[in-house]
Chains A and B, each alone.
Chain A
């Protein structure tokens, strides 16, 4: 094993990946079943087997969605509406979803610390702060892939359906094995799955490639070899599996496709359901455009129209298929927005905002926490980023206190030490 010098001449991450490359050099490009290290997990009993995150990129305004303040004019122009759960009100812009409140728990006390998009995305996707301790942290999807992913499952355990892609999605120090598979357009799915030559020829080609890879990896000793090998390994697995048809939305009845909405987000939600059904553990579906510094009201109205149809379709479809009890669905952004307006826009706001939990392991039909009467601060049951991550981990049966060796050799818990699950959420 490689020793890491204490003066950090090599980035810790590189050293770690290099070590990983060395360890697995025999199956570098492999085309063999991957001998991924499988920990003795899970310790915690999983309440849900898979997770779908509906990521509202840009930061949705809580006082226009799930934390309405109808008596405070500055908080927004939209009215609230009753739901199928007596006493719980949400925005009038989500009338369909109002009928599904029995499955949903609103956390109104999110209180986090990053107010800028990139930093907040890292914070709310990884649970740690960008740049903290000189490490690149794994996203929740990568953590799920590592902890509950089935090592030789032919589809990546973590799929991100999104047209925005940045570092916060990545596997960080967990390495390329736990990278998400990005799907930019759900209608296209994953393309180029079929080889242009016959099966035996593919085998021959991969054999030649393996020959070349061994030489380069030995001489240059770079993490790149390992990363490339891992990506190709997984691509070849995907070419070979029948399960890849999960990416093909044209196999769905037209009626179902229409129910989810003819939008990228809607079709992304449908794809998420197909993937979870087939055994994928973690799917993120992005709906962008929530950065409403300008013309907040019009933008939110339009976005909610898309959201209402697709999120409602997803929850009802999962339920009809008996998948909802095993599938955790989370609605969230990287932060909320100011409960007051400047001109016609709302700014970034991390101090008080909302997330919604549905499905697997969640006791629906409840609201947890409360903001003050103007929606500006959390008055009751604040939930920090670490608490949020501990909650997601616990629901998925992932031991959130488990420490892993980071590239510098320093053990680090999956979730920051002070994180505690929001147990009131659990069914």
Chain B
């Protein structure tokens, strides 16, 4: 957030040229135009066929807010909004997308998403350290580790947790079936858990397929090292029969040799590890599930609805909204070496992604064909970081620079906030998860002081009521107030005896609004 919130403007426009070079160096193929074309051709053809009109392209302000939240997980600062709106560069949107993809906030946003996918939200998992995985993922996404490499390294992770953060994946799972379900959902985009006990009611997975997949994980054992008073934990595949498995085996276990989903059985020696073979099969360009699951997952986060929905239930019975698009994107994704930034760049530059979410009368009922963008709800992390971005308005010359200790406190607060706002696991991105307790928190909690400080500092800096209100709108909603809104806010301030309190009321209303909470 550092670069996005305050120093953003300098970084963005002065460093445009330099950063584009930096991106090129890290990424030999930044031209994602073929993906963009693919998306727009298929989507337009379908909309034409169904005679559904498209909504217009986003305004710069709408685009800026959306892409900042989607790629970097945070809204832009008011200075940044003004600079972007004032810029006359014709390709400023494309440049901005590259800029965001190169920012540390991109790695943090992807880490938030993937940590939730890879680490269960269970009591057993809560007893383990998660931080090593967070750091491992941040490094992976910052260096744009390809998704196949990421999957392979997670699946074959071994060693001590403090030396290899990826091993957290195994340490936070408790049972064999739990990890089998997760690997299927996250890396293959299918739910096979029902097949644990009987044939799946809708999908067609068999019990033998389920236990064949589970069998790969039976050699994962725990590693424990004690030096002096320091205890260290880890995991490792080990075929010695007397060593205790890390993952508990449920009673429903059917003894089936390690088998890939849909039947192939790798040649594995009993004293060699299983997981390299599984990882090779899963993260292979030949795997029919992996690329599709990856594309569907990214699409889900950027469009608010996966091409196949639910995002992790890609059965034949569950038809894609654009089957040919899913197939071509999966091909492209695989051909580009599972390069996530490349895929995201292609998506963000598309007309479909850049359409406004305001319906145009007759396309209001379309929720699937992308005639207009879905309105997503900020995730708990996006909400936390965006509130922080708003409260950064309070910063002035006297604000002390952040220290290691203050950063640690912030990280702790961030995680507690996210836990409190977290709804169900893997929620529909367009659905409000917050309930009454969260609304009460937003209205009445300790944010009170942050709101007051941010409003007060803005008043000192911006002088006139009009400019203060404008700044507060830019900082929260990434746009200027409408005439009607400005009139209402200014009237409220004019009639107040306590002016400072009146400005705080305006900021309070802004951060409590549906619009602030939404990524539209």
Contacts and interface: CB of A to CB of B under 8 A. Distances in A.
Interface in B430-454: 430-432, 434-441, 443-445, 448
Contacts of B162: none
Interface stretch (A140-148, A207-215, A271-279): A207-215
Nearest to B487: A211
Contact of B377 (A181, A204, A224, A346): A224
Contacts of B480: none
A235 B438 CA distance: 9
B251 A156 contact: no
Interface string A102-130: 00000000000001101100000000000
Given A166-B425, A192-B440, A224-B430, 6 more contacts: A15-B365, A190-B440, A192-B441, A196-B444, A204-B505, A209-B513
Given A14-B367, A116-B197, A181-B435, A235 B443 contact: yes
A216 B444 CA distance: 23
Contacts of B366: 9-10
B368 A220 contact: no
B142 interface: no
B55 to A, nearest CB: 11
B445 A192 contact: yes
Interface stretch (A92-100, A225-233, A316-324, A369-377): A225-233
Interface residues of A, number: 71
Interface string B479-490: 000101100110
Given A115-B198, A192-B437, A211 B377 contact: no
A124 B249 CA distance: 27
Interface string A225-254: 101110110111011000000000000000
B440 A116 contact: no
B53 interface: no
B439 A221 contact: no
Contact of A213 (B368, B430, B439, B513): B513
A394 interface: no
Nearest to B309: A11
9 nearest A-B residue pairs (beta carbon): A342-B251, A208-B509, A235-B439, A196-B448, A192-B440, A10-B367, A345-B251, A192-B444, A228-B514
A211 B369 contact: no
Nearest to B520: A220
Contacts of A197: 448, 501
B424 interface: yes
B492 A167 contact: no
B38 to A, nearest CB: 22
A326 to B, nearest CB: 26
B510 interface: yes
A228 B251 contact: no
B519 to A, nearest CB: 10
A192 B514 contact: no
Residue of B369, B502, B508 most packed against chain A (CB within 10 A) = B508
Given A10-B366, A228-B432, A228-B517, A215 B505 contact: no
Interface in A160-199: 165-167, 176, 179-183, 190-197
A239 B440 contact: yes
A183 B438 CA distance: 11
A179 B436 CA distance: 9
Nearest to A131: B202
Interface in B194-211: 194, 196-198, 201-202
A343 interface: yes
A222 interface: yes
Interface stretch (B65-73, B163-171, B356-364): B356-364
Contacts of A216: 513-515, 518
Interface in A251-299: 293-294
A286 B207 CA distance: 31
A165 B375 CA distance: 24
Nearest to A163: B123
Interface of B: 50, 52, 175, 193-194, 196-198, 201-202, 248-253, 357-359, 364-369, 375, 377, 423-425, 430-432, 434-441, 443-445, 448, 482, 484-485, 488-489, 492, 501-502, 505-506, 508-510, 512-515, 517-518, 520
A153 to B, nearest CB: 14
A338 B250 CA distance: 13
B430 A119 contact: no
Given A212-B515, A215-B485, A217-B514, A293 B251 contact: yes
A167 B365 contact: no
Nearest to A204: B505
A128 to B, nearest CB: 14
Nearest to A160: B435
B505 A208 contact: yes
B365 A10 contact: yes
A71 interface: no
11 contacts: A166-B424, A190-B436, A192-B441, A197-B448, A204-B505, A213-B513, A222-B430, A229-B514, A231-B432, A235-B436, A236-B443
A342 B432 contact: no
B404 to A, nearest CB: 31
B435 A182 contact: yes
Contact of B436 (A9, A207, A221, A231): A231
A205 interface: yes
A47 interface: no
Contacts of B196: 116
A190 B52 CA distance: 46
Contacts of B434: 231
A78 interface: no
Nearest to B310: A131
